[in-house]
Every structure is written in C-alpha cells, then in structure tokens.
Amino acid sequence: MAHVMAEGFKFRYLKTPVHGLDPRVKLLMTAMLFALALLSSNLYQEALVFAAVGVPAALARSLKRLLRIAALSLTFSLMIFAVNMLFGQPLLESAVITIRFLGIVAATSVFFVTTSPDEIEYVMRWFRLPRDFVFAFATSIRFVPVLMMDLTQIIDAQRSRGLEMDRGNPVRRIRNLIPVLIPLIVNALVRSGELAEAMEARGYGAVSRPTSMHALLMKKNDYAALLVLVPAWSLLITYFLGLL
C-alpha cells in the first residue's frame, strides 16, 4: 500500500504549462489551494476547492493521478469520518470534515506531481535553508529507488531461505518483518558511510555558501500565471471568509 502511495506521489516530467512553471509559483499556488481547502466550511465551498484544484491538475494532464491519490487516502478519510461520528458530530459536519481532508490531500498533491525533486531543492536553497538540511532532503529522495531495490532483493533472499512473510496472525506478520528490516537498516548504514566518504572526496563543506549551477528565473508565463492566480484566489478567499 505504501509502495502504491509512493508511486502516486512520484514525479513524472510532462511537457505541460503547469510543469513548466517556476517552482516558486507552483509552491505559491499550492499554498493558496491549501488555504482554500483548510478554510472551506460547507459542501459548496468544498466543491469550489475541488474545481480550483482540478483546473491546474487538468492543465498538467494529471487529473487521473490526482484521483488515484485521493482514492488511496480514502481509507484514512473513512477513519476520520467514523471518529467524528463516534464523537457525536452530525452526519453533515463529519462529511464536511472528511471532504476537507480530501481537499487538502488533493491540493498538496498538485505540487508534488508537477514539481521535480530538483525543483523542490532549488526552492529550498532559494529560501536559504541550511545546506546540510537541503542536502539531506535531496539525498533521501534520490535514494528512495535504491532502497526500494535493496528491499526487494532482501525480501527475495529471505523468501528463498524459507521466510513466509504473509503467513500467520498480525503479530506474527510484524515479527516476520524483522529479518527484512535488519539487513535493510544495516545496508542503509553501510551506504551512508560510503556516501559520506564520497561527499568528502568532492569537497563538501569547503565553503560556507556553496554556489549553484542553476538559478531560478521568473519567465513571462510565470508572471502570467500569477496574474490569473492572485485575483482568482483573492476572490475565493474573500467568499470563504464570508466577506463577499
């Protein structure tokens, strides 16, 4: 399940007007959609949130992926709904809260399906976050596929030695994970040691403010996107806050 979820969030570059936007514009757009989703307080407003998320998602040809991500978060949504009902919230209120959660998931997904990890790193550097923090973020994402491959190999190796992972009661199944997790952690530690060596060998930490080959530059289409986004969002947020 986690693997499918991760697959849903995985970035795939498509040549669309949204993918081509400056990552800072995409981040701002996501923050705007997030705020709308958070402030929505009835079903009409929630329908507007989904419409607002749907426009960039459709332009980015990622509507299906977004729906898939929403479907994957359905189990958690149902839990939210059940907990609300259990604690005495009326049916409609519980539904609004649950749909609000789905709206937040959809709003944040727009950013992750249209922004490459590279671009996220540029934005983090632009915000002048500490170099070590940005580097840790970048390498952790870079090594997800590598660790997934390690995991597959370890599972295959342990299964070929007779480990039955899907057998037994839930407690037994969790215990079955130990022979997989221990080699995975050991592998990751060895890998991190080698990474540290390679970082040193390539001058990591030589200067307090490393330079960057790429610079973020706002283009015409980024300004055009802002010209549409800001007024539309202002209008919606005014309505959501009951000022309209």
Partner 1 sequence: MGKIVEFLDYTFEYSGMERPAVEGVSFSVEEGEVAVLAGASGSGKSTILRSINGLIPHMYPGRRSGKVTVDGADVSSTPTYELARKVGFLFQNPENQIFMFTVEKDVAFGLENLGYEPEVIRRKVDWALGLLGISDLAKRSPSELSDGQKQRVALAGSLVMDPKILVLDEPTSLLDPRTAQDVVSLVSRLNKDLGLTVVLVEHRLELVSPMADRMVVLSGSRVWAEGSPAEVLGREGLHEVGLSPPAIVEVQKRLPSGDGLALDVDGFVRRFLADVGHRV
Burial class (CB in 10 A: 0-12, 13-18, 19+), 193: exposed
Q: How far is the CB of 121 from partner 1 (least distance, A)?
A: 8
Residue 4's CB is within 10 A of a number of other CB atoms, namely: 10
Asked whether position 15 contacts partner 1 by CB under 8 A, the answer is: no
Q: How far is the CB of 214 from partner 1 (least distance, A)?
A: 8
The token duo for 189 is: 């530690």
Residue of 171, 207, 217, 243 interacting with partner 1 (CB under 8 A): 207
Asked whether position 217 contacts partner 1 by CB under 8 A, the answer is: no
Q: CA-CA distance, 67 to 81, in Å (whole number)?
A: 19
Asked whether position 191 contacts partner 1 by CB under 8 A, the answer is: yes
Which CB sits closer to partner 1, 93 or 118?
118
Q: Looking only at residues 103 through 162 of this chain, which bind partner 1 when binding is defined by CB under 8 A?
A: 116-118, 121, 135, 138-139, 141-142, 145-146
Q: CA-CA distance, 202 to 181, in Å (whole number)?
A: 31
The token duo for 175 is: 């215990």
CA dihedral 199, 205, 206, 207 (to 10 degrees): 140
Which CB sits closer to partner 1, 169 or 211?
211
By the criterion CB under 8 A, which residues form the site for partner 1?
116-118, 121, 135, 138-139, 141-142, 145-146, 191, 194-207, 209-215
